[in-house]
Chain A
Amino acid sequence: MFSKTMWRAVIGAALVAPFALTAAQAQDTVKIGLIVPMTGGQASTGKQIDNAVKLYMQQHGDTVAGRKIEVILKDDATLPDNTKRLAQELIVNDKVKVIAGFGITPAALAAAPLATRAKVPEVVMAAGTSIITERSPYIVRTSFTLAQSSTIIGDWAAKNGIKKVATLTSDYAPGHDALRFFKEHFTAGGGRIVEEVKVPLANPDFAPFLQRMKDAKPDAIYVFVPAGQGGAFMKQYAERGLDKAGIRVIGPGDVMDDDLLNGMGDSAIGAVTAHIYSAAHPSQMNRDFVAAYKKAYNQRPGFMAVGGYDGIHLIYQALKKTGGKADGDSLVAAMKGMKWESPRGPISIDPDTRDIVQNVYIRKVEKKDGELYNVEFVTFKGVKDPGKTKK
């Protein structure tokens, strides 16, 4: 006969077993929620990130520190409420250990309170306004901030013979950021803004704005339009003969995204932009990255792809450092101060702000082997985000 204690043990084991099993499984896999826009106007951002993450996992395997990595891809269609719901469901139901992606600033901000509350690291791979990392101690960024590129191009322009600039920026928060930081640094360096135009975000035709630019007769136009509109802008810039009138194009590098550059035509040649990544970055690592990306997706990687590539790398390295411990605090602690060589050059995560520290390059569009490239010619090393309100 079974004794009472034995019965208890059997029942107890039967009750506990399933939990033990699920616990063991959960131990093995680390789930990462990747929330990016895969549909809608920003879809190319999401696709580049998704592609890069997949490429990285192909190259580096899907296990780190004895734990299997599983990426769950979700489309938020650039609606912040979607982002928030998806993040919440991923955290609560799928028990993801990291949420990543975030195509636009409002999306990244929407998820911030969740990251704090659930203590889940939020790796921002695209969105670029300065405030994001200040919204939660669990936010880490691997893309860039607009302030990084805008201030540098402002300094550079003032020192390199550009005296009068007309600005054309999209009328939304990133555009305002781009304008503000450029203006501060450019005017501090002795430059003058002769015309300032803010273009509506949904803007089919740049013609009237460009005419205004032309009439202001500046040395250069400073441009910031969201990813995707750069091509249409450059086309019309040439059409209106601004290139013939000797008006140059300068700006943060978003306009000259590698993704679109080849379609813009020769009018883009000579445009000078400051940015964090060029597909023509002369390093072995980048050459390999570009070759692998092109082979896999038949397309040139842009800066969004690099943001995704570095983001997943950061998560891998953090897991390696914690030895597979995947709680939010350990992961964020491991990410802070991490340094590595990225296709864009050497980068690191600032331990104070959790924002990215990286080189910013001044590049000029040139034709190489029949294709257009942003060729880097000046490097500003280790640029921190100058846009933080808390210094």
Chain B
Amino acid sequence: MTTLFTILFDGVAYGMLLFVLACGLAVTLGLMNFVNLAHGAFAMAGGYVCAVLVNRSGVPFFAALPAAFLASAAIGLVAERLLYRHLYRRSPLDQVLFTIGLVFMAVTVADYLMGSSQTFIHIPDSLQGQINVFGVGVGRYRLMIIVICGLLTLALQLILMKTRFGSRLRAAVDDPRAAGGLGINVPYVFALTFAFGSGLAGLGGALGAEILGLDPYFPLKFMIYFLIVVTVGGASTITGPFLAALLLGIADVAGKYYVPKLGAFVIYTVMIVILIWKPHGLFGRTAAR
């Protein structure tokens, strides 16, 4: 019984991590219908920033996490203003070509700067090991991930629902043209959202280095996982990808634990079944536009 809880806990932590990594992609896709396959590159950037700060400059881990967020957000903002915004009206295939090109470049640059081996972030001792909660083994690091990602999700939800920026963003997602007509500066909203999404990915990359590993091929390796989360959850909301990430996280972990022989099949099968059942994702709306 306690094992079941441990598995559940691990699954939730894994899912939360996937969500933080992928939610920026969901917003980009939902808001501007932009297929940003280079999303993982921002996550990788955050991971490396954190690694360099902690390992080489001796910055405390918890101070390096916001730095990773800011660095990736800044890169995201620059990239959006310089490159991405020219491509919103282009065909999805051009967008795919463009962002894959960016991924290739990011991979090589990371390889050049950081070497091709795995990089590890020295995490503080207080985060290592497990604690015992009513007989259930709970990993401290994973607990931290759940806490941070949980808080983030709440904050995101509040921002979206309660702030003026949030309502502008929702309006822009629903109908960019009408939103523009109402005086909402859609490009500005989008640039900020893009930067924020990239920042979240960066944070996810820093948090995930411990569990997913960090090397120059990170953006390519995890591109598929991000896409799975977003398509299964349905783009354009954040509740959808959140629940999808949790579902996939738990299914993946439980599948690997209980039927390790089929471990590799679980996540793909779940995805295919869901997409055939609901082609627009679990919580997606049918394409109205």
Spell out A's residues near B (CB within 8 Å).
39-41, 43-44, 47, 171, 197-200, 202-205, 207-209, 211-212, 214-215, 228-229, 231-232, 235-236, 238-241, 244, 259-260, 263-265, 267, 299
Q: Are A40 and B253 in contact (CB under 8 A)?
A: no
Q: Are A263 and B225 in contact (CB under 8 A)?
A: no
| Cα distance A228–B14 in the bound complex, in angstroms | 21
| Cα distance A259–B118 in the bound complex, in angstroms | 9
B111 touches A (CB below 8 Å): yes
Q: Are B217 and A240 in contact (CB under 8 A)?
A: no
Question: Binary interface profile of B, 257-289, with partner A (CB < 8 Å = 1, else 0)?
Answer: 100110110000000000000000000000000
Q: Which residues of B contact A263 (CB under 8 A)?
A: 117-120
Given the interface contacts A43-B111, A231-B120, A265-B120, does A211 sit within 8 Å of B10 by beta carbon? yes
Q: Are B14 and A207 in contact (CB under 8 A)?
A: yes
| Cα distance A212–B6 in the bound complex, in angstroms | 11
Q: Are A205 and B128 in contact (CB under 8 A)?
A: no
B141 touches A (CB below 8 Å): yes
Residue from A43, A239, A244, A265 within 8 A of B141 (CB atoms): A239
Complex interface: stretch among B57-65, B66-74, B198-206, B208-216:
B208-216
Q: Select the residue from B142, B211, B254 with max chain A CB neighbours within 10 A.
A: B211
Given the interface contacts A205-B211, A211-B6, does A235 sit within 8 Å of B260 by beta carbon? no
Task: List 7 additional A-B contacts (Cβ < 8 Å) besides A228-B213, A228-B215.
Answer: A44-B115, A204-B222, A228-B117, A231-B120, A236-B211, A240-B137, A263-B117
Q: Are A238 and B212 in contact (CB under 8 A)?
A: no
List B residues 83-134 near A (Cβ within 8 Å): 107-108, 111, 115-120, 122, 128-130
B6 to chain A, nearest CB (A): 6
Q: Which residues of A contact B217 (CB under 8 A)?
A: 40-41, 43
B208 to chain A, nearest CB (A): 9
Residue from B141, B253, B260 within 8 A of A205 (CB atoms): B253
A76 to chain B, nearest CB (A): 15
Residue from A40, A211, A259, A267 within 8 A of B117 (CB atoms): A259
Closest to A259 in B: B117
